[in-house]
Amino acid sequence: MKMMIFRDRQARVDPIERELARLADGTLDPDRREALERLVAGSPELRRRLREQRQAVLATRTIAQPERAPLALRTGQSAAAASSATRRRRWIARRPVLGFGLAGAAATVTLALATLGGGAAGLTVAQAATIAVRPAIATVPEPRDDSVTLPQLRAAGLPFPYWEDRFGWRATGMRRDRLDGQLLTTVFYRRRHELIAYTIVDGPPLPAGTSARTILRAGTSVKALPTGEASTVTWLRDGHSCVLSGVGVPLEDLVKLAAWRAY
Amino acid sequence: MQVAADHALPLTTASVGAPARRLDPNRLGDHLDRLYRAAWALCGSREDAEDLVQDTYTRVLQKPRFLRSEEDLGYLLRVLRNTYFSRLRAAARRPRPDPLPDELDRVEDRNATAPEAALNASELYARIAELPEPFREALVAIDVVGLSYREAARALRVREATITTRLYRGRQRLARALTDGDPDGGLG
Task: List pLDDT tens digits, range B108-165.
Answer: 444 444 444 444 788 889 999 999 999 999 999 999 988 889 989 988 999 999 999 9
Nearest CB to B165; choose among A13, A66, A104 = A13
Helices (H), B46-71: 46-61
Q: How confident is the model at residue A254 (pLDDT cuts 50, 70, 90)?
A: very high
Beta strands in chain A (DSSP E): 149-155, 158-161, 170-179, 182-191, 194-202, 213-217, 220-227, 230-237, 240-247
| CATH class in words for B14-94+118-180 | mainly alpha
Please tell me whether residues A54 and A75 are part of one structural domain: no
Q: Indicate whether A182 and A194 sit together in one domain.
A: yes
Q: By CB neighbour count within 10 A (0-12 exposed, 13-18 middle, 19+ buried), where does A17 fall?
A: buried
Considering the domain architecture, whether residues A127 and A239 belong to the same structural domain is answered as yes
Confidence of residue A124 (pLDDT cuts 50, 70, 90): confident
Q: What is the CATH number of the domain that holds A238?
A: 3.30.200.100
Residue A138, CA atoms < 13 Å, CB-side half-sphere: 17
Query: CB contact, 8 Å: B145 with chain A?
Result: no
Phi, psi of A152 (to 5 degrees): 60, 25
The pLDDT assigned to B184 comes to: 52
Q: Are residues A80 and A123 in the same domain?
A: no
3-state SS class at B50? helix
Q: Are residues A74 and A114 in the same domain?
A: no
pLDDT tops 90 at residue B80: yes
Based on the fold, state whether residues A90 and A204 are members of the same structural domain: no
Q: Are residues A162 and A230 in the same domain?
A: yes
For residues A242 and A138, membership in a common domain is answered with: yes
Range of the domain at A29: 2-64
Residues of A in contact with B105 (CB under 8 A): none
Q: pLDDT digit string (tens) for B60-72?
A: 888 788 887 667 8
Window 107-136 of B: residues touching A by CB (8 A cutoff) are 107, 109-113, 117, 120-121, 124-125, 128
A44-58, A243-257, B2-16, B18-32: least confident range: B2-16
- Whether B170 and chain A come into contact, CB under 8 Å, resolves to yes
Domains of chain B, residue spans: 14-94+118-180
A93 with A179, same domain: the answer is: no
Residues B7 and B16: their CA atoms lie apart, in Å, by 19
A118 with A149, same domain: the answer is: yes
Residue A141 confidence (pLDDT): 82
For Cα atoms A70, A76, A81, give the angle at the middle one, nearest 5 degrees.
125
Inter-chain residue contact B54 with A77, CB threshold 8 Å: yes
CB nearest A101 (choices: B33, B57, B142): B33
Residues A119 and A86 in one domain: no
Residue A117 has pLDDT above 60, yes or no: no
- DSSP annotation string for B41-110: HHHSSHHHHHHHHHHHHHHHHTS--EESS--HHHHHHHHHHHHHHHHHHHHHHSPPPPPPPS-SPP---T
What's the domain count of chain A?
3
Say whether both A9 and A125 belong to one domain.
no
| Confidence at residue B67, expressed as pLDDT on a 0 to 100 scale | 80
DSSP state of A242: E
Smallest Cβ–Cβ distance between B29 and the set A21, A83, A99 belongs to A99
Q: Is B72 on the interface with A (CB under 8 A)?
A: no
